[in-house]
Amino acid sequence: MKRRTALQASLGVVAALALAACGGGQSNSTGGAGSANLTIALSSAPNSLDPAQIAVGPFLNYMDPAYATLLTRKADGTLGAGLADKWGYVGKGNTKFELHLRKGVTFADGTPITATHVVDSFKYFVKGSGPGGAWFRPLTFATPDSSTVVVSSPTPNPDMGALFTPAFVGGAIIGPEGLKNPKKLASATFGAGPYVYSPQQSVSGDHYVYTPNKNYFDKSAIHFKKITVRVMPNVNSQVQALKSGQIDLMYATPDVAPTIKGTKSLTTLKKPTTWAGLFLLDREGTVVKGLGDERVRQALNFAIDRTAITKAVYGRYGTPVSQPAMPGYDGYSPAAEKMYRYDPAEAKKLLKAAGYGNGLTIPVNYGSFDPSTTKMVQAVQDQLAKVGVTLKLRAATNFGAWINDVVSRKYAATVLSPGSGGDSNFYAQQAGFTKTGIMNVFGVTDPDFDAAYTRLAESNPKSSGTAAKELSEVIVRNALALPVSGTDTIVLYNTKLHGVVFPKGGSQLVSNTTWTTR
């Protein structure tokens, strides 16, 4: 039961990533870009406004206005100040990290923020079901004084500062009034952000309105009179609302993104952010004995024409990849990308050498609720059939059904919608390949992976880039997965908006509170 609950929590990440390819909005905005208002469209309402429960990805648009984080992520990819203005590791070994609160910061209700408030928020956060909680649970916290927080990890972590940025949510500090009655956190905000949620102007499930926080420490950083996040499931309706100026920004799908071509007031921003392919869960051969043989897993990788599949499924919004890391991200390795050419003959040779010259059958579950996933896995099925490998597909029509199939351990591989990416290779590969990773439902271990992961965890800034690439190379060399395509997050927005960017090496837009208008 605990395993199922943990996996369901992690599904918040998966859902958010899937939603990155979808939009949302409503047709009556309070003003388009160029006015003092900002209106963002999303395809789904938030599961909660509580930082300890909310999913990530585009859902952060619901949280960013009202909850300032301890640290931020700047456009160049480096860490920036937030509620904390000084930070860094203490000593060697990547196990102790210190944060110093800036002077004069308060919650929206005017209560001064202290180190104790920060730790209280952390302790509440780790009890939640949100996807970021898993990273905070092993940590311990100390408060040497009222403005200093020391965070200690039982194991090395080369990128601990990232935990306090919006992407991991836990750095969004919740005020004491919210912690007194956590039930209120689902529909009200108790943060220290530049805006506050206005329930009077909002309708749950339809639109969420945020107005300026009169107690925010930097009034010059409040760029809008109002931020509205509207819910519109139909992506085609979103496009029409964007063209008419009723909304300012949306997340698009590959089929609708080209429809704004020729509209001078609109522009497209896209970036490969996640990988789609097969998670080879059963790498020790519990369900399918053959998958315990590295040669069989390598054969699967040689049998796939990634270029053809990517073009057919994702078109211009996809990139063929042979590794679970995207070009331009921490851990992407050109050497790993060259390990598997499309070579069905080599695939057959390896299968025969492993004793599977007559083929084998692999049960695979996937989410049919994502059309692109369905197309991709069916294309992989067709190509593997040509080398004698049969994928026995099980379609799940919703996330809950997909979870139930994964935790049943009846399926040797699964397909996410899309597969997980990640800004840092240390975090990106933990879920699928470490022994306790939430996606490692069979508890598989690989000595080469473990050694490479430890080297990355203990690395310093000078060596971390090399260590991150070496980790990807181990995953690819040992064929621990079957990546097929890197998929783009597509953002359509009014050109009057400034600062709408993906940070260098990052998969999520910088906070909507940093955007401005011309």
Q: Are 485 and 13 in contact (CB under 8 A)?
A: no
Q: Are strands 413-415 and 266-280 parallel, antiparallel or unpaired?
A: antiparallel
How does residue 337 score in pLDDT terms, banded at 50, 70 and 90? very high
Average pLDDT for 90-113: 96
Question: CA 389: distance to chain centroid?
Answer: 31
CB within 8 Å of 479: residues ≥ 6 apart: 280, 294, 297, 298, 300, 301
From residue 511, give the alpha-carbon distance in Å to each of 3, 62, 281, 363, 515.
32, 11, 34, 41, 7
Mean of pLDDT values over 313-319: 92
pLDDT of amino acid 15: 44
Q: What is the mean pLDDT of residues 265-277?
A: 93
Q: Does position 6 have pLDDT exceeding 60, yes or no? A: no
Q: Report the pLDDT value the prediction gives residue 7, as an integer from 0 to 100.
A: 52
* Residue 338: predicted pLDDT: 96
Residue 13 has pLDDT above 60, yes or no: no
Residue 177's pLDDT is what? 97
pLDDT score of 181 more than 90: yes
Reported as a pLDDT band with limits 50, 70 and 90, residue 195 is very high
Task: Among 23-27, 311-315, 326-330, 370-374, name the most confident range.
Answer: 311-315
- Region 273-488: CATH code: 3.10.105.10
**Residue 415: CB atoms within 10 Å:** 28
pLDDT tens-digit map of 205-240: 999 999 999 999 999 999 999 999 999 999 999 999
CA distance 393 to 413: 10
Spatial separation of the C-alpha atoms in residues 11 and 26, rounded to whole Å: 26
Model pLDDT, residue 20:
39
Q: Is the pLDDT of residue 104 over 50?
A: yes
Q: What pLDDT, on a 0 to 100 scale, did the predictor assign at position 8?
A: 46
Span 316-327, average pLDDT = 92
Radius of gyration for the chain, computed over Cα atoms and rounded to the nearest angstrom: 23
**pLDDT score, position 419:** 57
How many Cβ atoms from other residues are within 10 Å of residue 68's Cβ? 29
The span from the CA of 148 to the CA of 156, in Å, is 21
Residue 415: CB partners within 8 Å, gap ≥ 6? 276, 277, 278, 279, 364, 365, 366, 367, 373, 376, 377
- Asked if 246 and 237 count as a contact pair (C-beta separation under 8 A), the reply is no
The continuous run of DSSP H or E covering 406 comes out as helix 399-407
Q: What is the pTM of this model?
A: 0.86
- Mean residue pLDDT of the chain comes to 90
Residue 28 has pLDDT above 70, yes or no: no
Q: What pLDDT, on the 0 to 100 scale, is given for residue 414? A: 96
> Please, which pLDDT band fits residue 369 given cuts at 50, 70 and 90?
confident
- What is the amino acid identity at position 318? G
More confident residue, 10 or 428: 428
Domain boundaries defined on the chain: 2-265+495-517, 273-488
Q: What is the CATH number of domain 2-265+495-517?
A: 3.40.190.10
Is the pLDDT reported for residue 26 higher than 60? no
Average pLDDT over residues 80-108: 96
Give residue 505's pLDDT band: very low, low, confident or very high (50, 70, 90): confident
